[in-house]
């Protein structure tokens, strides 16, 4: 149970506060406020709510009048990999993007419900979305290196944030964590465009890490890669789990089964009258359980290919 709003003092200044600052407030105030946050998120063992990275309650995402996904409840634990799977149009990418407010960039998009990050409502109007995206980094489907040197790609985020000293260290440690350093250390000033697809994707991960995030969101990070490059990224994810909380959207069920600790299966609900399609979260549980003995028949049908 945490307080959702910043302190009165800060409110009166009317200034924007970062999620980090909010989280600091929250830590102080956590004991005092037991009554606010919703508790109906899916928590299937005993982790106290205060230790959760995200707690999503009754989240619905709209694009204009169109409700893309409805009533999502999910608790995300620290230093775990959570996979989001499901057929096209089930809302899994929409949900992933809502975790770092990437949907804000779509003018008609809005959310209902609450999405708490470390106890802070991410969609509180006082939260700075830029700070949110620094804390919660994202890796996209296609590697998207900037047409700059490898070094400048990784240093980009810290530079934008105003960092001038110690960039060499940030670049080196980020590339090491992304398992790319040994391959590129002698050509840091060469263009990133010349790298292979798998290297470019690991560069994208290094770039996300350079901002010192807590969470990495990955939207089908391997769909443009060959099996070997895919295996490298999967290995990398297992290593990154020691430091980061990872959410991954993937179309590859075997990938979800291989890499994740927990899996959320989303599906599409069709309104017969209006033919409107809405994404729903069907089942969210341990990955081993979901792929060996799911509770919901819709999950079973999907993962065994009995419906499409």
Question: With binding defined as CB under 8 A, does residue 18 bind other proteins?
Answer: no
User: What is the Cα–Cα distance from 26 to 33, expressed in whole angstroms?
Assistant: 9
Classified as helix, coil or strand, 95 is: helix
Residues 206-225 that bind other proteins (CB under 8 A): none
Q: Per DSSP, what are the bridge partners of residue 74?
A: 56
Classified as helix, coil or strand, 48 is: coil
Beginning with the edge strand found earlier in the chain, give each strand of the sheet holding 277-286 in spatial order: 120-121, 109-117, 54-63, 66-76, 277-286, 262-270, 81-85, 245-249, 215-219, 136-139
Which phi and psi angles does 129 have, rounded to 5°? Answer: -60, -30
Question: With binding defined as CB under 8 A, does residue 303 bind other proteins?
Answer: yes
Nearer to other proteins, 189 or 292 (CB): 292
Q: CB of residue 251 vs other proteins: minimum separation in angstroms?
A: 14
Nearer to other proteins, 85 or 178 (CB): 85
Nearer to other proteins, 49 or 300 (CB): 300
C-alpha angle 212/210/261, rounded to 5°? 65
Residue with token string 């440690």 = 173
Residues 235-274 that bind other proteins (CB under 8 A): 253-254, 257, 268, 270
Nearer to other proteins, 15 or 304 (CB): 304
Nearer to other proteins, 178 or 256 (CB): 256
Question: With binding defined as CB under 8 A, does residue 299 bind other proteins?
Answer: yes
Question: With binding defined as CB under 8 A, does residue 306 bind other proteins?
Answer: yes
**Of the candidate residues 36, 189, 196, 304, the single one contacting other proteins (CB under 8 A):** 304
**Of the candidate residues 163, 191, 286, 301, the single one contacting other proteins (CB under 8 A):** 301
Question: With binding defined as CB under 8 A, does residue 227 bind other proteins?
Answer: no
Among the listed ranges 53-61, 143-151, 213-221, 285-293, the one in contact with other proteins (CB under 8 A) is 285-293
Nearer to other proteins, 10 or 277 (CB): 277
Question: With binding defined as CB under 8 A, does residue 291 bind other proteins?
Answer: yes
Question: With binding defined as CB under 8 A, does residue 293 bind other proteins?
Answer: yes
For the chain, how far is it from start to end, CA to CA, in angstroms?
40
Nearer to other proteins, 6 or 294 (CB): 294
Among the listed ranges 58-66, 73-81, 191-199, 290-298, the one in contact with other proteins (CB under 8 A) is 290-298
Which phi and psi angles does 28 have, rounded to 5°? Answer: -70, -40
User: What is the Cα–Cα distance from 83 to 261, expressed in whole angstroms?
Assistant: 8
Question: With binding defined as CB under 8 A, does residue 11 bind other proteins?
Answer: no
User: What is the Cα–Cα distance from 12 to 200, expressed in whole angstroms?
Assistant: 45
Local structure of residue 132 (DSSP, 8 states): H
> 10 Å Cβ neighbour count for 61?
25
Beta-sheet pairing, 120-121 with 136-139: unpaired
Name the residues that contact other proteins, by CB under 8 A: 253-254, 257, 268, 270, 291-294, 299-301, 303-308
């Amino acid at each position: 149970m945490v307080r959702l709003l910043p302190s009165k003092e800060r409110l009166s200044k009317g200034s924007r506060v970062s999620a980090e600052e909010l989280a600091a407030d929250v830590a102080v105030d956590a004991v005092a406020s037991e009554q606010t946050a919703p508790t109906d998120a899916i928590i299937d063992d005993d982790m106290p709510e205060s230790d959760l990275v995200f707690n999503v309650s009754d989240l619905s995402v709209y694009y204009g009048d169109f409700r893309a996904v409805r009533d999502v409840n999910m608790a995300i634990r620290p230093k775990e990999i959570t996979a989001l799977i499901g057929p096209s149009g089930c809302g899994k990418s929409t949900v992933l993007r809502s975790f770092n407010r990437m949907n804000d960039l779509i003018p008609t998009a809005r959310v209902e419900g609450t999405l708490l990050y470390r106890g802070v409502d991410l969609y509180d109007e006082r939260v700075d979305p830029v700070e949110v995206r620094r804390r919660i980094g994202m890796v996209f489907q296609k590697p998207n290196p900037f047409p700059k040197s490898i070094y400048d790609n990784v240093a980009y985020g810290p530079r934008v944030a105003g960092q001038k000293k110690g960039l060499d260290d940030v670049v080196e440690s980020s590339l090491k964590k992304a398992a790319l350093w040994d391959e590129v250390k002698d050509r840091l000033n060469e263009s990133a465009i010349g790298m292979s697809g798998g290297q470019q994707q690991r560069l994208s991960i290094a770039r996300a890490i350079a901002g010192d995030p807590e969470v990495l969101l990955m939207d089908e990070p391997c769909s443009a890669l060959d099996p070997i490059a895919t295996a490298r990224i999967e290995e990398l994810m297992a290593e990154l789990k020691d430091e980061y909380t990872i959410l991954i959207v993937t179309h590859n069920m075997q990938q979800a089964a291989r890499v994740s600790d927990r899996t959320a299966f989303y599906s599409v609900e069709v309104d017969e009258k209006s033919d409107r399609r809405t994404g729903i979260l069907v089942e969210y549980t341990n990955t081993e359980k979901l792929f060996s003995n799911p509770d919901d028949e819709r999950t079973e049908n999907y993962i065994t290919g009995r419906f499409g």
